[in-house]
Structures are given as structure tokens and as C-alpha cells.
A and B are shown apart, each in its own frame.
Chain A
Amino acid sequence: MTTFQIGLPLPVLSADWSAPTESKTLTAATDRNIEPVGPHFLAHARRKRHKRTFSEDDR
């Protein structure tokens, strides 16, 4: 995947910022079928079947 470019600047850190203590999670996902087609799917299938991560796959 190519890298995005985001032209807007990140916000300035306020002086009184402290790291949040509360832990958050993502909204529940929806199960859908990925179409078993194309080179990127095959890479996905390989990772899934061999229980590999992206970075293990990169090596």
C-alpha cells in the first residue's frame, strides 16, 4: 500500500497535556466476505493460513 500524504499539520501539544489513562477500543466490526480474487487477496490468504503478520510476511 502506498503511503498517504497528509498536508494539514498535527496539533500543537498543549502544556497541560497528560497521557490518557482510560483505555478505548474500536467499534464492533461487521463480518463480510472478501472476494477471493487478485494478488493481494492471495497474500492475505497466505498470512491467514500460516498465521503470519504483515511484518513477518514482509521478510
Chain B
Amino acid sequence: MSEEESPAQRVAIGISFGNSYSSIAYTSGEGKAEVIANEEGDRQIPSILSYVSGEEFQGTQAKAQLVRNAKNTVAYFRDFLGQDFKSIDPTPCHHSAHPIQHESTVAFKIKDKEDDTENTVTVSEITTRHLRKLKNSASDYLGKNVNAAVITVPTNFSDAQKDALSKAAKDAGIEVLQFINEPVAAVLAYDARPEAKLADKNIVVADLGGTRSDVAVIASRGGMYSILATAHDYDVGGAQLDEVLMDYFAKEFLKKWKNGGDPRVDDRASAKLKLESEAVKKALSIGSSANFSVESLSKGFDFTCSINRMRYETISSKVFATFVRLVLNVVEKAQLDPLDISEIILAGGTAHTPRIASSLASAFPESTTVLAPSTSATAINPSELAARGAAIQASLIQEFETEDIDQSTHPMVTVTPHLARAIGVLCISSDESTGVFRHLVEAETPVPVRRTAIIATPREGGDVLVKICEGTRVIKVTKPEPKANGKAADDSDDDEDSDESDEEEELREKTYKVENVLAEAALKGLSKGAKVELQINVAADLSCTFFAREVGGKVAVRGGWKAPGKA
């Protein structure tokens, strides 16, 4: 349809397009990202289209059609794009239009026209229609025709899926400037806040959605992001929590109305049950209790029932535990320890659940900040992170020529050597075994890199040694002191005894072990109370120059080392 717009004519937004919900966001003139509410006032727009006598509905209105008009309602289709029928999992579409095989792609048979004939509509066409609605909502809000977007995708979205999404967007009049990974968009949304400070840290993004949960471990180094490990779980998400509540309310209903029939069996009753259970679940993220209330739930019987948060957390505890395990597994997959993780960003709608955030907080050490609405006053709405990140990226690149964007995102530019070990300086003692290693550059930092530190000197000043080393992070475990009347510590083959000692918390700390001395330099005649500024510059070929000087003084020294393999 539309040709590529020249950068000057672009109006670009950020789009998060999930299987369950979509969001649109833009970046204002002041550089602030904001999520746009559609005509119905929704910022989380169900990714659902429904047709009634040829009229198209989207979002919340379409979702309501799941009760009466499920066959002509298309939902949970994002992951089908660019896939062949054999490789998709149709389970989430159990209560809506079923995906079918159509030529080499996936389609739905729906009555989407006034004439009541059943048409085969491909997932690509459905996506185009959905994106067109999103585009129109954004255009209405902004008062100009939106014609470009940055769209977020899961980290395991294949090139074929991206191509299909790109084409579907193009057909909706949207030029996809760039696809960015969902967890990276979440990190960017946090880093773009004016109060954010640049720091080198390892971040976990736990994106807990509706039909899937995706976790990524990201090395954030000077504002650049590298993904160290990912995991995807299609068996656990918000839908499983809905099911826990559906089971609970169905059983309560049957207790009250013995002849009511199981609402989980009948299609229409189960659609009502599901919609209301989801609403109850969301209410329980804020309130300490919530009301389930459906008129004529099954066989004409109305049903109201209240549930408190504690009960909900008890019946959902297995699902909650699965999320925690998933996160811990990915940290392990990245060959990291929970102590290496500075932040857990909770993203996705399910991340609103207070118990998930608190369970994660207790599974990680105190030094790990859990960024979720219930654990942090400054957390960003987890449902908005992806769209905001996309909008920020859109504002950064919208003035670039398409060719420039393509070149910058090419592996020639993005594939970069990352340091295997940390680089730092020895403090207190010049002996590698007793000196304390303080890092300037963390492991997994992409090169080239430049870091500067201001370091204290001995109280009297004088001559100091700048000893630059490579170090590896080690976790130091200190076992608690054995109890005075306890058995000997080596008695650990006794089961009872080891159980008991497990209860005592061992102390785990992050320290560094010096592996390799890279360079040494002397700074002589420092004044009393002097501070030393040390700057390390590692080039792309791993050669290095460093510079140390007395802050505000004249003493200075330079040094460095060569690239490996160069004499």
C-alpha cells in the first residue's frame, strides 16, 4: 500500500502487539513516552477482532463477543503469523474462532461480511485489520496520520514471523522502522526516565503475559544492552491464573446450585466464567477482596461470590511458584548467581500480581530490586513497558533514512566482542592474594569501552601502585557457626543433622578473584589526602590504554597493553 515515507513525513509510534493485548504509545515533544487510550478509553486493548453482521469490532467490545459470537471472534493470533499450521499451538483459541490450515499459512473461517457467508481470512489479514485499528486510534489521538512504528516482538520471534508482521503492517499503512525485543523495550522504558542513572548491571526482565511467559537476562553496560539468556514458557501465564479462578468459582457455583450444571462445560457459560474470572483476578491485584458476579451464569442461574486475596494466593500458589522457578532457571542458564542480578523488571499484565513480585523478592537476595507496582513506588506500569520502550526507540530513529536504520541494526555493527572477565584495580595491598579487587569494567561489557574511577589513596599520600588486573566473580559462602552444643561440622552424612543446618542461613557474598595481572604503574609523591583518577580505555581489538593522575595535582602516569596476538 503505502510507499516508505521520507523521514520528514513520518509520524511514528510504538506498538506492543501481544497475543492477549496490544498497546500504542508515542513520545511527546518533551521526550516523554505516553501510552494512548483508544476511543473506548483502553490503554490495554485486547488483540481481538469480532464481526457482527459485517460490522468490525476490536478490543474490549470484541472481547465481549466471546460469549455470544465466539465463532466470528478472532483472538490470540499473534504467534501464528509467519508460521505453518503444523507448528502452531491452537490451544488458546479454544473459546474463539479456530485456526485452520490455509495454503502455506494459518487462517480463520469467519462471517466477516454483511452477506453472512463464511470467509477464510488469513492470520496476516487479521493482523492487518487489527494494526489498522490501532493506527487509526493513534492517528485520531495525535491528530495526524500515523504511518510508521517500532513494534516489539518476543526474543524468539523468527525472521519469517518478523517478515510476516512487517508485511501485515505495511498493508495497514504502517512502515515498520524496526522490530525491537520486548524485554529490551522494557529496560529502555526504565532507562529513558529523566532520573535514571547509567550503571553497569545485570537485569532480569520477567514478561508475564496471558498465553506465555518470557524471561530474559540482560547485561546493561553504559546504556547498551546484551541478552545473556532467555526462556519461554507457553504453559504458564495469566490464562492459568484465570483457570484457577474459573475452577474455584465453578465449584462454588455448583455448591450453591446443585442443578446449575457445570459452567466449565457449556461454551457460553464458560466464556462468561472466564471473562469474569479475569476481571476478579485483576481486581485482586489492587484490593484485598473482589466480587465475582454474573447474571445467568449457567442454566439461567445468577451467581455472585466474593473471594479474598489470601484465598486466591493459596489456590494459585503452584502457578506463582512456576514463575519464580522460571526466573531462577534463566539466571542459571546465563551462568549467573542471583547475587549478580541488580534488578528484576516485571513486565506484562500478570506482573501486576503482588504475590508474584513478593515471591520473586524473597527468592532473590536483598540487593536485588524488584521493579513491580507492589514492591516499588517508582515502578512503571508493567502493562505499558513494551509500548513505551517502542515509542522511545521510534522517536530516536524516526528521522533516520531507512537505509541508515538497516545499516545500524546490521550484525556488522551489532556483533561485538564482550569481555570474558572484569577489569579492575587492586586496593589496599599489592599482593594478589590479599589485595581487594575493585572492578572498573564488568564482565560481559562490549568493547570498545571507557570507564573512569576516582580512587582513594593511603592517608599520608606518598607513592602508590596502580595494579590493573583481570578478575572473575566468585560467590563466597560462609557457613554459619556450628551451635555450641551441636555435633561436629563433618558429621554431615547424618541426614537429620544436615536438614537442621540447612535451616540456618549461610552467608553468600559476591567477591572477585584476581586471575591475571595486566599492568602496573607507579604514581609517586602524591599529596596527603590525594585522590587518583584512573581511566581505562579498552579498544575493540582488546588493546588498552590507561591513564592515572592525581586529581587536581601534577602526578600522572600512562600505560596499557597490546591486543592479543600482537607482539
Contact = CB atoms under 8 A, between A and B. Distances in A.
Please say whether chains A and B are actual partners in one complex: yes
Interface of A: 1-14, 17, 19-20, 23-42, 44-45, 47-49, 53-54
A40 B223 contact: yes
A36 to B, nearest CB: 4
A25 B415 contact: no
A11 B426 contact: yes
Most chain B CB within a 10 A radius of its CB, from A14, A30, A37: A37
B225 A38 contact: yes
20 contacts: A6-B456, A8-B456, A10-B523, A11-B467, A12-B430, A12-B465, A24-B519, A25-B565, A27-B420, A27-B421, A29-B419, A29-B542, A36-B180, A36-B414, A37-B188, A37-B393, A38-B191, A38-B224, A40-B222, A44-B413
B411 interface: yes
Given A3-B453, A29-B417, A9 B427 contact: yes
B562 A25 contact: yes
Contacts of B428: 8-9, 11
A7 B456 CA distance: 5
Interface residues of B, number: 90
Contacts of A6: 425, 427, 438, 453-456
Contact of A35 (B180, B465, B537): B180
B462 A8 contact: no
Given A26-B419, A31-B417, A10 B451 contact: no
B520 interface: yes
B133 to A, nearest CB: 26
B561 interface: yes
A33 B516 CA distance: 26
B453 A8 contact: no
Given A5-B453, A13-B522, A29 B430 contact: no
A2 B438 contact: no
A12 to B, nearest CB: 6
B415 A31 contact: yes
A11 B456 contact: no
A49 B412 CA distance: 9
B75 interface: no
B65 interface: no
Contacts of A17: 430, 465, 520, 522
B226 A8 contact: no
Contacts of A40: 198, 222-224
B520 A20 contact: yes
A19 B223 CA distance: 36
A35 B184 contact: yes
Interface stretch (B268-276, B376-384, B442-450): B442-450
Contact of B396 (A9, A26, A42, A44): A42
Nearest to A58: B450
A13 B429 CA distance: 9
B418 interface: yes
